[in-house]
Structure formats: C-alpha cells, structure tokens
A and B are shown apart, each in its own frame.
Chain A
Amino acid sequence: MEVCRQLRGTCNIGQASYKNRKLPGVSRALNTSEVGAENRAARGRLGKGEKLVTCEEAHAPRHVTHRKDWLSLHTGNLDGEGQAIERTVEDVFLRQFLLGSFPGCLPDQRVLKRQAHQVEICALVLRQPPVHRLYFLVGRGETLLSHFYKGPVHLQTVPSKIVYI
C-alpha cells in the first residue's frame, strides 16, 4: 500500500493514463488496488492441503453448477418473479436457527429447497447424539419454524460423517 502511494505521488500514472496514450485502447497502467483486496467471499483458503475442508468449502463460487450446487433453491431470482430479498432474509434466519438448534452436530451447510409455500431443509447431521434426541430436535425445529414461517417446514436429516476432500 505504501509503495503504491509513493508510485502514485511521483508518477501520476493512474491519472495521466489518458495523456500518455498513443494508440486507442492501449494504456500502460499499473494495478493500483490495495494488496490483498481481491475477492474473498465463499472461498476457502486452502494452503498446501494440511487443512481439512469439506467439498462445499473447497470450491469457489464460480464452480456453482459445475462442481457444486446452490445452497438455497427458490424461484425468486427468475425473470418476472419477485421477493428474492424476503427469501434471503428468511434463509439467514433459518440457517442461524439450525446452527443453534443442532449444536456441534452439523458437518456441512444446510440446503434449503422451496416449493410453493413449503420449505424443505436438508441437513447433514453427525451420528453423535442419540437417536431420540435427534428426533426431539427435528420435531421441535419443524414446529417452531412452521409457526414462524407460516408454512409447512420439513426437516430432513441425513446422518453421516464429515466428508473431507
């Protein structure tokens, strides 16, 4: 960052790019964004492979539809459909609720699927808690979420181990 500022101070390169141009479309300009400011959203920092990451974390967002799928499926983003924002807000609430409801039992992100007014939550669950406790949490979660969301919520749990790649 310091270097860039010095560069800018002495050479005025970013602002003078117009004057220095000889050919249209060609400009000699340095990349003056700050170091480390590239996009970091949803990309796991993998390093050399010592860290254990799930399949979800390992792939960047550009790999959606190629190597992984969306986590939240609804029709709000289609042409002519509205209320995508409400769906997103609800998603945030649902995910936070589930994170708290199943403490330490969720190896991966939840997948939310919406059909008409029904939400189906597909959650991977560790086999750690005893089975009746899982059923208790499922019943309680389904009822509470149905009442919040005013529509049927079906919680589908698939007990499995964490899958690392």
Chain B
Amino acid sequence: MSSIKQVINDAVEKGKEVYEKVRQPNPIRLRDLIRQIRSAKTAAEERAVVNRECAYIRLTFREEDSVWRCRNVAKLLYIHMLGYPAHFGQMECLKLIASPRFTDKRIGYLGAMLLLDERQDVHLLITNSLKNDLNSSTQFVQGLALCTLGAIASPEMSRDLAGEVERLLKSSNAYIRKKAAVCALRIILKVPELMEMFLPATRSLLSEKNHGVLITGVTLITEMCLQSPDMLAHFKKIVPNLVRILKNLIMAGYSPEHDVQGVSDPFLQVKILKLLRILGCGDSDASETMNDILAQVATNTESSKNVGNAILYETVLSIMDIKSESGLRVLAINILGRFLLNADKNIRYVALNTLLRVVHADNSAVQRHRSTILECLKDADISIRKRAMELCFALINGNNIRTMMKELLTFLENAEPEFKATCSSKCVLAAEKYSPNVRWHIDTLLKVVEAAGNHVPDDVVSSTIQLISETRAEQAYAVGELWRHLSVAQLEFQPMIQVSTWCIGEFGDLLLNGQADVTVEETQIIEIYQKILWSSQCSITTKEYALTSLMKLSARLNQEVGSIQQVVSAFGSHLNIELQQRGIEYSQLFTRHNHMRGPLLERMPPFEGVRGSGTEGEKGGVAITNGLDNSPDNQSLLNDLSSPNNNNNINSTHENNESNALLLLLGGIEPGEGDTVQASTSPATSTTNTTPAPRSTVNADILDLLGLEPGPTAPSSTTTTSTSPAQLSHTNNSSSPALLLDGLLNNTPSTTTTTTTGIAPLSTPTANSTTLPTNNFIIPQSLSQPSVPGIVAYDKNGMKLDMTFEVHDSVTTINMLATNTSLAQVTDFLFQAAVPKSLQLQMMTPSSTSMAPSATLTQVIKVNNPSKVPLRMRMRLSWQANGSVVQDQGEISHFPPALWQ
C-alpha cells in the first residue's frame, strides 16, 4: 500500500517538475515576441514560434493568471493580426475590461473591438462592463467604452445602452459628447426606432463651439434625415444654422487648430455641405437659403491642393442635387471642367465620375467641356480613360456624332483589349441612334470592326451584316469597301473577314458588274478565298463564313465556278467536322443536285427586327456560333440530318427569320423538287412548305422537312451517337428523302466521333475522301496523306484541347483546336509546350488569345522528330476567365504511335 502511495507521489513530483520547466517564470514581453516572430526565416519557423507562444498563452489563461493577462492578450492581438486564430482570447478581453486598472481596460477594449463583433454571444457580458464604464468618473474610461460601443454595437446592445448614451450626449464634457454622438449614430443605424429619444439632445449639438462635437452632431443629423422623412422635415429649420457655421468657417481667419493647408476644417465643411445637400434636395426654400453660401464656397475655396478640391467636389455635388440657380449649376460644372485639367489624376478621376452623374441633368453644360473630356481619352491612367470613354458616349448626340466618333475610333484603335469589346458595342449603338445618313453609318460600322480587330463582339459583326443586308441602296458601295478591305486584309483579324465574306457572298454580283466602284477579276476573288480558307491564322468560324460565302459566289460568278467547285469539294476531307460536312454537302450541290444550286443560293431576304443592340444582338451572335462552328452537339446533329436542304447552313446563321427564309427558299424551288421535299414532310405538317407560317424553332422545321417523326429523332438529337442503322432504314423507307439522304450518307463521314455501325468514324476522313468526285488540287499535300487519329489532349476547367496530326517525313504538324467549354469569356490564352531533347519544337502563333463561350481557337505546333522516338509533350496552359487566372500543366503521353512509326 505504502509503495503505491510512494509511486503516486513520485509521479506527481515529476509532473510538477516538468510543468515548472514548461512554464517560464515570466512571460516574454510583447516586444520580444514580435522580434522573435520577425526573425523567423521561414513561414514554418514563424508558425512554430506562434504555436509555442499560443500554447503558453492558453495555459496562462487557464490558470487565471491576472498579473500577466494584459501582456498576454496584447501578444495574442499581434498574433491575430498575422492571421492566426485568437478567439480563445475573447473571454480574457472581457476580464481585462472588468479590471479596475486603466492599462487593462485599454488593451481589453482594444481586444474586444478586434476579436468580438456584433454576432458574438459574449455580448451579454460586455454590455454590463460597458454600462459600468459609461458611468465611470474618469472621462477616458468613458471614452474607451463609447469608442467600443461605436464600433461593435449590436441591436441588443444598442437597446440596452441607448439610455446611457443619451445621457452622455448631454454631458458637459465635449470629449464625451462627441463620442456619444457617434454612438447614437451607430445605435439608430442598428435600431431606427430609438431615433426619437436622441432628438432633443441632438439639436443642441449644433450650438457648440467644439469642432469635434459639431462634426459628430452634423453626422448624426445627416443619418437621421436619411432614415426618416419626419426627421428630414424637422431639421429643415436648421439650414440657417448650418449656413452660419459654414460661413464662419470660411470667413474666419487662420486658426492653427483646424487649419489644413490653408483651409479651415475641411472635415467639418464637407459634412455640413453634405447635410445641406440632403436638406435642400427638392426644397426650393431651403435651396434658396443655401445658394449664396454654396456660391461663396465654390468661388473662395483654394483649389491648388487636394483638400480644397475635396470641398469643391462636395460643393458641386450639393449644387447639382438641390434646386439651385442655373448660374450656380454652370459654375459647378465649370469647377469640374477645371478639375479635368488638374495635374492630379485623383481629381481628374473624380471629375469624370461626377460629370457622368450629372450629364443627364445638364447635358448642355457638360457639352462645353467636351474637348477636355476627349483629351482624357488619351490619359495615362486606365481608369480615367475608362470614365472618359463612358462620358463620351453619354455626350454623343446628332450634332456632334461625326467629331466624337472620329475621336472614339482613334481611341478604339489604340485601346487596351479589355476596352475594345464594350467600346465597339457602344459605338454601334451610338451610330444606330445618331447616324446622319446610311452611308456614314456603314462606314462607321466598318471602321469599328476594323479598329477593334479580334475584340469585336459577335453582336457587332451581326449588326454590321444586318445593316448592309437591309439597305439595298448601299450594298454595292459596302461590298466595294469590303472588297478593298479584304484584298489587303490582315488575316489575323477575324471579324472583318467574317463581315467581308458574308457580304461578298451575298452581293458578289454587285462587285463584278461594276456597280461597286472597284474592278475585280473573278480570279482575284478566288485567290483571296483560298488564302483565307487555308490560312492557319483564320479561325474555324471564319472559314465557315468563307466557305459558305464561296458557295454563294458560285451562283454569282460566271467563269470561276469550276474552281469554286474544286475548292469546296477539297473541304470534303478537311480535319474540322463542320467544314468537312459543308464541303461534302456543298459539293453535292455541284453534282447530283446542280439544278437546285441556283435557287438555293438566292440572296437572303433583308433581315427584319431590331438590329444590334441588347439581347437581339446577343442572340444573333449565339446563333452564329451554334449554327456554324460546333462539335457534335444537339444542333449540329440536327443539321446533319437535314443535310439535303443545304441552305439550312446558310440560313442557320440567323435565327427566327432564317426559318422563314428556309421555307421561302424551299417554296421557290421548281415544282419537281418541291414535290420531293413535300413528299418528305409528314402529313401533320405538310402545310409548312406551302405556307411559310412563322415557326418557333429552326429545329422543328428541319424535323418537319425531313419527314422524321419527332419521336424517333428526338433521342438522337440529344445524344452524341450518330444515326443508328434502325434510323437509317427508317429514312430509307420513306420515299424521296431516301434518295437525298442516301447520297449524302454514303459519301459523308459521320459528323460524330462515337462509332456506330455503317458510318466511318470521323477521324479517318481519307477513306471517304477517295470517293469524292473531284481532285483536291488545293489541299495541302499532308492532308491527302494517310492521317492519324486525333486525340483529346486536355479537357478540364472549361477548356478542351483537341489535337489532330499531319505527318510529313520526320515533321509532325499538330493542329491544336482549343474550345472554351465554359460559360465565361476566356482571355490571355497561352499554351506552352516542351518535348524531349532529341525533338525540336516550333510553336506558331495562335489564331487568337481570347475565346467567347463555346468559341474556339487554333494553334499549329510543329515537331521535328528525326530519330523517330516516341513523342511525349509537357504542356503548360494558362488563361483568364471571370477575372481570375487559370493555370494548369500536364503531360501528354497518349500520342498515337503512328506519329513516329
């Protein structure tokens, strides 16, 4: 028994010893801890120091050590600022607050403000301490309590302590009164019902000499007026008092106590000006009373320093908000005009911001500063340029559009990429609204498209096209201009080529018959188109535009139809699915269905509806993307099914009216063909062809036209599998479309990559290309060589990279197609790659660095592999989406072995 006791005693002794060792006799000082932490070389080292100290601080907290509590809490506050958790100090702060020593209270309240906020339930405890300290006989203890209450008061605390604050608001001590006023402000923000009780005490704050009390009093009244219309009405009568205070401030001579660079108490002046603004808003009497003083402030304030301008700025806001005299308003705008010339960029920024706010009220006054504002478009500061641009658009009207647009176009040309999209959209809107004539309008849109380069949003492309489409008289001029552009075009700017090819395709005949003020040979046109179609700089979308346009030209040109046929059919073996599809479909129009070609490629009827702006424009843009450049998704599958109606592609570039156009075109087809199509239409919808009733979606029309029951097609349109054999036979069974479909399906590689019986997978187009009737003289040699299946190199984070390959001796050309599968705009796309040492890598410039949602870009990578080693590639990707940078890297090791064997 005794031995057990002995063992226990020993153990206890030992424990005590260890404990004593751990517990240093005196805690290290705050200063020393900060030094220790600062001398830590690594983050891990710092963490170790902090953790050790935190463990120690916790220990002392548990022991209720009150001697060093203050020091330990102070250290904890420092640790908290470094980002480490410190919530365990909350209770200690409350204990410090309850201590009689001022030093403890000072740190305790500081800790309370940092570690607690109004959501903490410890508030019940702090409310009691606050109540005691608010009644303390030492003004600084009261001050600490008021300061804390002002910073962290919750609704409950506000209710509990409103009485104390109200009492202190009437204190004879200015130091207490000013702080109580801010607390009252916080309380009425949290619990507006408590406003009434502060009213009597608040009124007397204005008859004060002390500026601290005055400024807090004015602030409190401002908040009351903002919160309650009754209070606003009540305080109307203090306008003369405020005017007097302000007058005294600006008239009184130099007072060192409140002087800031020659201005007397700017803080108070600004607060009074703000309150005057609220009191004078919509009240002519009050406005009348303050007119003079505002004019005085506006003219007498020294404007060479920031502080004076702060007051002038506030004065301008007040003048513009109240019912001031017109002369005063002009004075205010002129102050802003002067601001625009100020060397200080902050002041220029504020001026533009304020002008933007008042431009709708006083457009003519702002117009006077137009030239200065235009100058700001050239400012070095980007945010100033942005404001200036917005302001310029607000200032455009019918009278100044020519000069303004000229400046804005210069700005657009040199602007940062991030501005180009918005700026070009706004230019289009402004031109739409204020164009003096159509010729000018077309010129402007073309200049916008040209100046914004690749940053032109889709809606600008579509509104430009729409404008040209609907103004018959200017089509010849437009097409001439576009030809001039296209013939010297930099192929890297896609939107311009898209607009040009669309228009030349539609109105190419005008170009050739001399109406267009240019002389063009048919061969020149074909040459340019070949350049576009085979350029690595042009995006797939652009090539889609160009191909369809070229097809249209086959009905407009006379001599070169043969070359067009050759170019088009060469696309039957293009690596891109859509282009290949179109290539094959279009070449059918030259051979089997040649008699349909003319009618099908008729000019589109002019677009109807709202042009360009807002959602309409957006829709147009989306339609283009969906209709033309997509991988096997819902819509393109439907397009495939409808391939006998080749015009579907042409039409699908523009929604709504396009379905009508499709029907119209079909209606215009000669009787024999009409029968064919009609036969294909299911009985239920057989009227659609003859009566072009507007239909809700293109898809429905296409389905109808195909004669497919919605039932069997629906599943195939939602999945990515290609037409199943069952469906093939289904279509084969129906009489005439079978013919069309048959012809197409036999020659066309399926547009979908998933394998299904009967249809060759897409990635081996060569097998099919042999069946093409024409020889592809313009196809690069590599294309006609046996090609290798493509791979998906990357598909994450809303970015998909497809790679297709061309092998030529030891050089592998990798055509990378990047698709933005996210819903965000991708910018600054960067693809970097590295290959093993024995290989050489050459990266070409990408077709673009930004992608709209579901848009694509291409980049060509050439790898020289003389020793035929297995190809591996490390890649690093980065792009910006939603304002943040996405980065990823990885290794591609699943290249098809055919590349090096």
The reply to whether chain A is a binding partner of chain B is: no
